[in-house]
Homo-oligomer: A and B are copies of this chain.
């Protein structure tokens, strides 16, 4: 099915009449080391692609195992791509010291801090390298039709003292969509994303570590609220967040800032919809509840 010189098949599972395949390949464009893998389910030939960005400490497996995306995606005929969240085994000093920075926390940016800039290039990896590899491998994907969505949930139970989840993938999806110069993605959706990372501690820590220019540099390219202010063309954005989400309650997510900026830039409800879901938290139970909604939202623009 795929050119095996480009993509090496790691495992395969049949699911909802489609196939979930895990591949590994040698990243050259983003210079991330081996062990980079991707997982994809595709129902029929030349289907559009919906990219799912997982969150802090996650891998390419979390969304595939717990998201509940395969049923609705198969019903619509949309392929799903689950990239990993960071390089693995890059060997950068300090990359595995913290749970919220480095391995498992690539933040979907291209690092400019010299210590990380060789390997931590998740922006290039997701937006350029993966589509190139999928195309070169001859997979039955129509790369002219792409959308992106994301969430994150903290999974490494070994650290019981730290927060149980963190929204990296939603942030990644929004910023990749909004910052694209080529309108690479037709639509974006996010489950309880961090919407204004330059104004929250996790974002500030990551940007300081990865970027020479810190939050000032980040505001240009990696902050959804800053980015929406500059978009004057029509956008297609769906956000869901739960009122029982502790990070929302702590003011880490700040969807209100994003919606306010969007409205001020002229994007109404038909372009930017942020739904407050009563009583839901930050877990995959929340995500799976609204999985079908999100797939159907993207299907509108992909099919």
| Residues of A bordering B, CB below 8 Å | 13-17, 20, 65-66, 68, 70-71, 242, 244, 279-281, 283-286, 288-289, 292
Is A71 in contact with B68, judged by CB distance below 8 angstroms?
Answer: yes
Of B15, B280, B288, the residue contacting A285 (CB under 8 A) is B15
Q: CA A283 – CA B15 in complex, angstroms?
A: 9
Is A70 in contact with B288, judged by CB distance below 8 angstroms?
Answer: yes
Is A14 in contact with B68, judged by CB distance below 8 angstroms?
Answer: no
- Known interface pairs A14-B244, A14-B285; 9 further A-B residue pairs with C-beta atoms within 8 A, sorted by A's residue number: A13-B281, A13-B285, A14-B279, A16-B288, A65-B66, A68-B71, A68-B288, A71-B288, A71-B289
Copies in the complex: 2
A66, A280, A283, A289 — most chain B CB neighbours (10 Å): A289
Is A13 in contact with B283, judged by CB distance below 8 angstroms?
Answer: yes
Of B15, B242, B279, the residue contacting A289 (CB under 8 A) is B15
Q: How far is the CB of A239 from chain B (nearest CB, A)?
A: 18
Q: How far is the CB of A65 from chain B (nearest CB, A)?
A: 6
Given contacts A14-B280, A242-B14, A279-B14, contact A285 B68 (CB under 8 A): no
Q: Which 10 A-B residue pairings sit nearest by Cβ, starting from the closest?
A: A15-B285, A13-B285, A14-B279, A14-B280, A16-B289, A13-B283, A65-B66, A68-B68, A15-B289, A13-B281
11 A-B residue pairings within 8 Å (CB atoms): A13-B281, A13-B283, A14-B279, A14-B281, A14-B289, A15-B288, A16-B289, A66-B66, A68-B68, A70-B288, A71-B289
Q: CA A284 – CA B14 in complex, angstroms?
A: 10
Is B284 in contact with A65, judged by CB distance below 8 angstroms?
Answer: yes
Is A13 in contact with B286, judged by CB distance below 8 angstroms?
Answer: yes
Q: Which residues of the partner chain B approach A281 to less than 8 Å between Cβ atoms?
A: 13-14
Q: How far is the CB of A127 from chain B (nearest CB, A)?
A: 28
Is A286 in contact with B70, judged by CB distance below 8 angstroms?
Answer: no
Q: Which residues of the partner chain B approach A68 to less than 8 Å between Cβ atoms?
A: 68, 71, 288
Q: Which residues of the partner chain B approach A289 to less than 8 Å between Cβ atoms?
A: 14-17, 70-71
Q: Which residues of the partner chain B approach A15 to less than 8 Å between Cβ atoms?
A: 285-286, 288-289
Q: How far is the CB of A60 from chain B (nearest CB, A)?
A: 14
